Structure 1
Amino acid sequence: MRHIHQRRVPRESDLRRYWKVMTLSERFEQLVAALLGAIIAVIILLALWELVRLVVETLLLQHQSVLAHSVFQRLFGAILTLLIAMEFQHSIIKVIERREHIIQTKIVILIALLALARKFIVLDTGATEPTMVFALAFGVLVLGGVYWLIEQRDAARRGEEAETRVTSAEHPETDDASSRKPS
């Protein structure tokens, strides 16, 4: 995975480069993705502002302990909400930059797992029915299983692609040995 500081320089936008050859529906998808990206960026900024306000108000002004269960729930609920939004934003940026044509299923599953983890952290155990806890736990297991299956499929595909590259590197000739004339 390339990091931001490792991007090719100078970088012409892939969107600008391919805009002329895109179909109308691909252009529409790009515009929707860009609009979603902008909306989520605003939501992330507002959530970050709320998190900073919550930390200042709770920990500095009211001198509440971060170890108090209700304070912990509020703070980490806000942090995880922000992380979920940022991960979603990252997946949309991939679509906009044309590194992914569509949002990958694995990313959606990971975002759902983050949302369930957040739910477990902010869960009020005193007011929550045991069946709800069971349902949430079952959801985590199912999503984890689906993620594992997708990862296994992707690993098998990567193995096949690597094997194909090795085979073609070892045998660059296009015709087979049986069709060659002896010298």
Structure 2
Amino acid sequence: KIHLTGEVTEDDIDQLYMIWKPVCQGCRINLKDSPNCFCGLVPPVNGHRKSGLWQKTSEIVTILGPDPADEFRCPNDSPAGLTNLGATCYANSILQCLYMNTTFRNGLFSLEPDILKQYPVLDQLSRLFSQLFFRNKAFIDSAPFIKTLDLDNEVQQDSHEFLTLLLSLLERCLLSSNIPKARTLVQD
């Protein structure tokens, strides 16, 4: 109500905006007639809305699909992951460890192209390491390398046993190289 004088008093403003109502103490619904109730505004912890701003998956994401930027690693100096093809985590962890060994990685990168063609395991391993080194994706597909070794991706294996067998295989393949450092890459 505006007074006959045309003045708006503090009491008029309080009445207009219902500021006089008490602060809500957690009614868990949004009281539409109280400016002091924010209970229904934000969903509770681990909660979500079926529609609107706080819905679990927004409508635009549903229409457009996931953000391709989520597939890129950030920052670029952080290592990329390897896709888990089932029970291949033992192989992926060994491959990550070998990749982080810069002497081993650089030795693999120095191999002659004809050696890579002759030994598919060396070719696929060098391709995998190249992708880990040069691509800025968050994860790299390890399937071609796993397929080269004929590993069953549904059977979990022992990591140490896999490492021993892989290094033995690589050592035999590397003996054909004309580069002295490459021939002793596994021993070094």
Could you tell me the TM-score, scaled by structure 2's length?
0.20
With the length of structure 1 as denominator, give the TM-score of the two structures: 0.21
Larger Cα-atom Rg: 2
Normalized per residue, which structure has more helix?
Answer: 1
